[in-house]
């Protein structure tokens, strides 16, 4: 039986009853079908962070297998489909060797999983994976620059519709929450990963008032200017780290 921390138990207990039931069914079906071919089933994302919101959040899962053969994938197809449509459980399928060899490609994703995840069954192959700062820095810069470009596009696409700009800022700030959190960690600043805490600290770190971002629907232009400003300062800072 997989032992869980009090924090993991609390996060699972906070889920709606029907979601917990579907997760149990999902896990048990995988164990039954895959047997010794199943290395582990891991939850990450909003469920693991304790930020699951009914009607908004999905359930992110990682199914680690020994060999993702055609036959094994086909055998678990029904289980994954039922989980997706009954409880928005979205699973990716990987092998242990793939996890070990891809920390350079997915450094921030791995960091988030290592920091907060729930092991439903089996063992945790992420426990021994090392992520290097070089890969973190490169990925952070890529994600920040992409956000910067998309925010500019949001203004031109809006054609003067300020509500569209506000919506774009709201979406983008949630998407870069993890990137900002990773940047703060790279600078040695440890904070809770929730959006409000990350925004407050990233604004303080770069001297930008991000309070308009929290009112993006009411103040779309000010929110856009604030988020754009902190992105520019963060990109300048991450470039300096490259030496």
pLDDT tens digits along 125-179: 999 999 999 999 999 999 999 999 999 999 999 999 999 999 999 999 999 999 9
pLDDT score of 53: 87
Which tokens is 179 given?
């990137």
Whether pLDDT at 110 is above 70: yes
Quick one: average pLDDT of 72-79? 96
Whether pLDDT at 55 is above 90: no
Q: Who's near 73: CB < 8 A, 6+ residues apart?
A: 93
Q: Who's near 100: CB < 8 A, 6+ residues apart?
A: 125, 128, 129
Whether pLDDT at 2 is above 70: no
pLDDT score of 243: 65
Q: How confident is the model at residue 56 (pLDDT cuts 50, 70, 90)?
A: confident
pTM comes to 0.79
- Buried-exposed string 3-24: b where 16+ CB fall within 10 A, e elsewhere: eeeeebeebbeebeeebeebbe
Q: Is the Cβ–Cβ distance between 183 and 203 less than 8 Å?
A: no
pLDDT score of 4: 60
Strands 38-44 and 118-122: antiparallel
Quick one: average pLDDT of 11-30? 93
């Amino acid at each position: 039986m997989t032992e869980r921390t009090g924090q993991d138990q609390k996060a699972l207990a906070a889920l709606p009853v029907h979601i917990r039931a579907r997760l149990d069914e999902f896990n048990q079906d995988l164990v039954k079908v895959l047997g010794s071919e199943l290395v582990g089933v891991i939850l990450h994302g909003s469920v693991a962070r304790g930020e699951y919101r009914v009607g908004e959040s999905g359930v992110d899962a990682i199914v680690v297998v020994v060999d993702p053969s055609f036959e094994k994938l086909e055998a678990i197809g029904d289980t994954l489909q039922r989980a997706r449509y009954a409880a928005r459980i979205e699973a990716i399928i990987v092998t242990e060797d793939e996890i070990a060899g891809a920390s350079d490609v997915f450094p921030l994703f791995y960091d988030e999983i290592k920091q907060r995840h729930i092991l439903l069954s089996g063992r945790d192959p992420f426990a021994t994976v090392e992520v290097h700062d070089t890969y973190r820095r490169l990925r952070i810069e890529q994600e920040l620059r992409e956000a910067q470009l998309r925010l500019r596009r949001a203004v031109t696409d809006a054609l003067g519709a300020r509500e569209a700009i506000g919506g774009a800022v709201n979406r983008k700030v949630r998407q870069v929450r993890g990137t900002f959190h990773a940047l703060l960690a790279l600078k040695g600043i440890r904070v809770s990963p929730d959006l409000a805490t990350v925004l407050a600290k990233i604004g303080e770190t770069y001297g930008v008032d991000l309070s308009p971002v929290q009112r993006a629907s009411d103040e779309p232009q000010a929110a856009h200017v604030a988020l754009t400003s902190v992105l520019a300062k963060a990109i300048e800072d991450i470039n300096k780290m490259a030496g």
